[in-house]
Chains A and B, each alone.
Chain A
């Protein structure tokens, strides 16, 4: 044993992560506006871009929209020793630039994470392969919020899309300490980590809206949340058959799958089918279940290939040449959403990173908790 190693010594450990704060949030008086923005930077509250200073009145306005008390607990993340209260969620939503009417969607997105597994917020925001999160909105709320569902829907341009996704990012950074180098151990990072929020183009879709396929009424407004890797654009512009388009998607899937090899039972995909791709599929009689079945059946690679390409560990054995690894465990794990503009012939493919599978919850608008509604 090295002489310098004193095993009986029990030093205390100073964690870079401070202890959890509960109850009401502290408040600080600072000089107005531009100075306040700089103060937010100084305190490390931003994601790099300026934030709207979370003033007490703006935070109160956010809370009033959802009818929640400041101390109301949205959820706890045991592994992080952190509690998300309505007030802290609201403060981050204000900073992200949300309007009060956006706040129910932010809360619903957080509820989806907590509903799946509270500790999943740690997994998806600490992982070295740095997934982001997709927040899909369905139902009439999309129109009321002016959420982009068509042209350029994945670009930063529209307030509802940009700020709802950013609010989740800020909550994870500020409340859960998911900061690079602290508890976010992302290696390359990802653009999706800023939060990808958009709506389905239900009005021009040939298929039922996604939330209806997941058991919700058409008039319900829902969010579907999943941890995702950065997307890939699918540019089948000259194919004249549905099969050509679906084969191109299969091709992208089996290649994109290399980023995280697809041997995990929970792997899913979001195929955001663009306008003209959806039009061709529907015109040639392809329903969502048939598309899912066609793609699922063909999206596989031999285990040997994944070993050759370094996506899987181990020596290649003869059975690896015929052992098929599927990109998705079941056809329904290829989620099909119709969205995007009609200016070009494109789709986009998201791979759901193992962690947070697609989880849908209803958006609760101004309802508060049962206790706060006087329902005990």
Chain B
């Protein structure tokens, strides 16, 4: 108890009150003829969903190439070599959850 009749609480949280602003990566002005990367989250339906999306979008954007790579775990971040491969082989990437 403090002298003012109040008690002092220690904040148990791990985040600030400020909203977190995240800068997005620059977007390409045009997707036509670009190399598409598919980041597979390793769930059993992921590849089917991603390849289906790639095929639908191919009708509009005529991908130069489709590069597919799989994460080692659905819930953990990609390993550095996976990100490096995406940087090397793709201009744009589609990621998502497929179960």
Total contacting residues, chain A, CB less than 8 A: 57
The segment from A88-96, A283-291, A292-300, A364-372 found at the interface with B is A88-96
- Kindly state the separation between the CA atoms of A82 and B15 in the bound complex, as whole angstroms: 8
- Kindly state the separation between the CA atoms of A78 and B75 in the bound complex, as whole angstroms: 13
B14 contacts across to A, CB distance below 8 A: 20-21, 82-84, 88, 174-177
Closest beta carbon of chain A to B61's beta carbon, Å: 8
Contact with B along A16-32 (1 / 0, CB 8 A): 01111100011111111
B31 within 8 A of A: yes
Partner of B9, one of A12, A19, A53, A170: A53
Contact with B along A52-91 (1 / 0, CB 8 A): 0111100100000000000000000011001110011011
- Kindly state the separation between the CA atoms of A83 and B26 in the bound complex, as whole angstroms: 29
B13 contacts across to A, CB distance below 8 A: 21, 43, 45, 88, 174-175
Closest beta carbon of chain A to B26's beta carbon, Å: 6
Closest beta carbon of chain A to B29's beta carbon, Å: 5
B8 contacts across to A, CB distance below 8 A: 27-30, 55-56
Q: Is B75 touching A126 in the complex (CB atoms < 8 A)?
A: yes
The segment from A2-10, A218-226, A269-277, A328-336 found at the interface with B is A2-10
Q: Is B18 touching A25 in the complex (CB atoms < 8 A)?
A: no
- Kindly state the separation between the CA atoms of A87 and B25 in the bound complex, as whole angstroms: 36
Q: Is A32 touching B12 in the complex (CB atoms < 8 A)?
A: no
B30 contacts across to A, CB distance below 8 A: 7
A123 within 8 A of B: yes
- Kindly state the separation between the CA atoms of A40 and B7 in the bound complex, as whole angstroms: 12
A317 within 8 A of B: no
Compute the total of residue contacts between A and B using a CB distance below 8 Å: 142
Q: Is A10 touching B19 in the complex (CB atoms < 8 A)?
A: no
A119 contacts across to B, CB distance below 8 A: 76-77
Closest beta carbon of chain B to A171's beta carbon, Å: 8
Q: Is A20 touching B12 in the complex (CB atoms < 8 A)?
A: no
B20 within 8 A of A: yes
Contact with B along A101-143 (1 / 0, CB 8 A): 0000000000000000101001100110000000000000000
Q: Is A91 touching B12 in the complex (CB atoms < 8 A)?
A: yes
Closest B residue by C-beta to A60: B10
Q: A18-B20, A20-B14 are in contact. Are A30 and B6 (CB under 8 A)?
A: yes
Contact with A along B13-40 (1 / 0, CB 8 A): 1111111111111111111000000000
Partner of B11, one of A82, A91, A313: A91
Q: Is A27 touching B11 in the complex (CB atoms < 8 A)?
A: yes
- Kindly state the separation between the CA atoms of A78 and B60 in the bound complex, as whole angstroms: 38
Q: Is A59 touching B10 in the complex (CB atoms < 8 A)?
A: yes
Most buried by A among B10, B31, B45: B10
| A-B contacts besides A29-B6, A177-B15, 17 pairs, CB < 8 Å | A7-B28, A7-B30, A9-B27, A14-B21, A15-B20, A15-B21, A20-B15, A21-B16, A25-B10, A27-B10, A28-B9, A33-B7, A54-B9, A55-B8, A122-B75, A123-B73, A175-B14
Q: Which 9 A-B pairs have the closest CB atoms?
A: A175-B14, A18-B15, A91-B12, A123-B75, A29-B6, A15-B20, A25-B11, A91-B10, A19-B20
B interface residues with partner A (beta carbon < 8 Å): 1-2, 4-31, 44-45, 60, 73, 75-77
Q: 29 pairs across A/B with beta carbons < 8 Å? A: A7-B28, A7-B30, A7-B31, A9-B27, A10-B26, A13-B24, A18-B20, A19-B15, A19-B20, A20-B14, A21-B16, A25-B11, A26-B11, A27-B10, A28-B11, A29-B2, A32-B5, A36-B9, A40-B9, A45-B12, A54-B12, A82-B14, A83-B14, A88-B14, A95-B12, A117-B76, A119-B76, A122-B76, A123-B76
A interface residues with partner B (beta carbon < 8 Å): 1, 7-15, 17-21, 25-33, 36, 39-40, 43, 45, 53-56, 59, 78-79, 82-84, 87-88, 90-92, 95, 117, 119, 122-123, 126-127, 170, 174-177, 313
